[in-house]
Amino acid sequence: MAQQPLLNGNTPVSVKVKPADISGSEGLIREMLKKHKTPFMLIRKGTLEKQFNRFRKAFPEVTPYYAIKANPHPKIVKFFAELGASFDVASAAEMKLVLKQGVKPSRIIFANTIKSKEDLVTARRRRVRLMTFDNEPELYKIAESYPGAHVLLRIRVANRGSVVQLSLKFGAEPDQAVYLLRKAQNLGLAPKGVSFHVGSQSTNVENYLQALEITANIFKEAKENDMPLQIVDLGGGFPIQHFDNEIGINFERMAAQIRKQMKTLFSKNVKFIAEPGRFFVGPAGVLVVQVIGRAFRDNKNFYYLNDGVYQDFSGMVFDHCKYEFKTLRRGQKYMSALAGPTCDSLDTLSTNEELPELFVGDVIYVKNIGAYSCASAVANFNGFEPAKIILV
């Protein structure tokens, strides 16, 4: 028999352990429960490295800029820096965080199309020269605050099939591209290329293929107007599995199709970059929580956990994400509901999970939750803090 640690003064609950459970994620979870209070999130460095290497193997000619918005924990940033990654930042605060880990300014892109003057001044002082834009007023702001900055025009492209459709908020119309790039040049900036984003968690490879075709046409038109471009930014959106048996996601197959389009449409002297976030850090995360209360409501077991949508399940609200809930306890499964610890009824995680009967102190864990979880959590709502991050 193995016991769960004490939680908020509750009596520890015994859990029957099968020998097969002492391996993989569950074995690691049990070891960590001996040392740490829940909630905690395990970030597996081996998985971070695996995802980084998968990307480099699938896209050998593409320089990855880790989008730290996915998970900006300093140790994660430093780990990717040691692997040789570059970085995508969206603010001066993120910029300073990355630079603090010893990353050179030349390995950073300021990939927010709307930037405050103060953040632009910080970029100039810290010599972070490469950045994106998607509108004419932004160019005037950049030219005033950072003369000579290198700029990529972000264009609007199709986001069909993506979980989060970013083209609703960002991207210039492609037929305005050459005008805007020329405007940048006339304002003393250095137009370097084109950026796009097909939307987050995109499983439709056609979005990438069409975006590359549109970008190639812009490159051709710019060259005809004596304004040769050098960089194509593929953005992010590369999908991951959130459920063990999830189908329809094959990153390597998507990458092969994208690479073929890149080679067909662009010359060898064009530089390709990308901004993976979820793909790098999502599969590395395992969130471990515990049951702090139980009830019987609407003819089903109703379990209250010590983490919810205001904390590390924030991706369910902000990222439209769904997760697979697992438990260390075995037995007959029943229709169950899960809710977070706050006093807000929005803090309900699921009303139709099949789970064994659980007791106060029992553990629930979720894999593939390293991205857009703790990063978008609300600090201390109702006094509940996000999970402690532990790199293992």
User: Which residues carry out catalysis?
Assistant: 343
Q: Is the peptide bond before 39 cis (omega within 30 degrees of 0)?
A: yes
DSSP code for 192 = E
DSSP code for 319 = S
Report the SS3 class of residue 33: helix
Give the closest residue to 376 by CA, choosing from 120, 69, 4, 16.
69
* Whole-number Å distance between alpha carbons of 318 and 226: 43
Q: Which residues contact 57 (CB under 8 A, 6 or more apart)?
A: none
The strand pairing partners of 87, in sequence order, are 66, 108
CA angle 88/92/96 to nearest 5° reads: 80
Phi, psi angle pair for 131, to nearest 5°: -155, 165
Phi, psi angle pair for 249, to nearest 5°: -120, 115
